[in-house]
Amino acid sequence: MTDFYNDIRPYRDHEVSAVVDTLLSDNEFIDTLIALRGNRIAKWVPGLVRLFARQTMKSQLAGVSTIDGFQALVKPRLDRVVEATSYFSYSGIEQLDTEASYLFISNHRDIVMDSAYANSVLVVEGHRTAQIAIGDNLLQKPWVSHLMRINKSFIVKRSLSGPKQQLAASKQLANFMREAIVENQGPLWIAQREGRAKDGNDRTEAAVLKMLTLSRDKATESPDEVLGKLNIVPLTISYEIDPCDVMKARELAHGAGYEKAPFEDLESIAQGIQGQKGHVHIHFGIPLNQASLSVPDAVSLIDHAMVTNYRLFKTNFWACEALGYAIDESERDAAEASITQSAFLARFDDLSEAERQQALEMYARPVLNVMASKDKV
């Protein structure tokens, strides 16, 4: 049987053992684990520490032969990261069927943690874990690709140059995602736009939804009918503190001419996992179950959900005030805070004025979007 999605799909159970062996033999993977654990001895006796780390990992992974088994091994470690770096809450999941497959279209703030928080909720509430979309631009190291795909990630090809190649890749991705939903293979997670919303403005790119319609049978279906069959659920994640805020502000201040350093995305992944986040809240929206759903209507519904379901924190209001915006002080006072105003603003003391402006605007944007939505009513 032809595997049409072999180069983009998550790994399957029969592939797990070989992938685990490949990871354990990769020195860069082992060294990354050592660095994440902050092992100071490694720089003096790297070979010995690497040997010990490899043997430890081999022991922990012994007997893991399925995707579910691998995720069960990872979950306690992820739970410890969540507990150490954030206070986490969620809402809306009760309106979803544990046996159904949904296409979660989410705002995107952190490369790894956005979907990790979502999967954490799904597990606790008795749902299957989601297959996660990840851009091939992030898979710069072979071990990263292996690690993501063994953890149920599927690949979005963004590095293709020719229009024919791009179209073929988009059709392949659209067909893969549709089959997963229609055949009830479990939920999927995809960002509402290409890349993170580094400026804090959670707006859906129509191109993402247009891509999804490429799976249609042109003889029998309209694009609107395809979107109506995908069980789309808007997913909104809110961070009190963005652990990558300084990195994002520096990039935004440099503008279009900014060039990322080699493996800068891997640094963002590490910072996003390890950095303090304060209160993180995730809201599962109402499924967009309609017989026909146009791209413009889907964009509007998802964007509205992002604005109305975003949890505003005092950090968002403090940023508005620092920029000179008038705010509703009662809403600010009612918002939560795990950090003082002075400590929050001090995060940007080492930035240039242009970078500080970008950082504050990043936090202020969700408040400004809420204010704009109220003006439209």
pLDDT tens across 277-314, in order? 999 999 999 999 888 999 999 999 999 999 999 999 99
Residues 113-124, mean pLDDT to the nearest whole number:
96
Residue 38 confidence (pLDDT): 57
pTM of the entire structure?
0.93
Give the confidence band of 267 by pLDDT, cuts at 50, 70, 90.
confident
Cβ atoms of 91 and 162 within 8 Å: the answer is no
Tokens 């109506």 sit at which residue?
228
pLDDT tens across 170-200, in order? 999 999 999 999 999 999 999 999 999 999 9
Buried b (16+ CB within 10 A) or exposed e, 350-359: ebeeebbbbb
User: Does residue 355 carry a pLDDT above 70?
Assistant: yes
User: Does residue 77 carry a pLDDT above 90?
Assistant: no
Residues 90-100, mean pLDDT to the nearest whole number:
97
The mean of the pLDDT values for the chain is: 92
Residue 215 confidence (pLDDT): 96
pLDDT tens across 2-39, in order? 789 999 999 999 999 999 999 999 988 888 877 766 55
β-pairing, 131-135 with 153-156?
Answer: parallel
- Partner residues linked to 106 by β-bridges: 191, 235
Residue 39 confidence (pLDDT): 53
Residue 250 confidence (pLDDT): 95
pLDDT tens across 317-334, in order? 999 999 999 999 999 999
Residue 2 confidence (pLDDT): 75
Cβ atoms of 233 and 288 within 8 Å: the answer is yes
First to last CA, the chain: 54
- Ordered structural domains, the chain, with CATH: 66-309 (3.40.1130), 312-377 (no CATH)
DSSP string spanning 174-237? HHHHHHHHHTT---EEEESSSS--TTS-----HHHHHHHGGGS-TTT--HHHHHHTS-EEEEEE
Residue 207 confidence (pLDDT): 96
pLDDT tens across 39-58, in order? 555 555 555 677 778 888 88
Alpha carbon separation from 305 to 18, 127, 237, 281, 310 (Å, rounded): 42, 22, 11, 14, 8
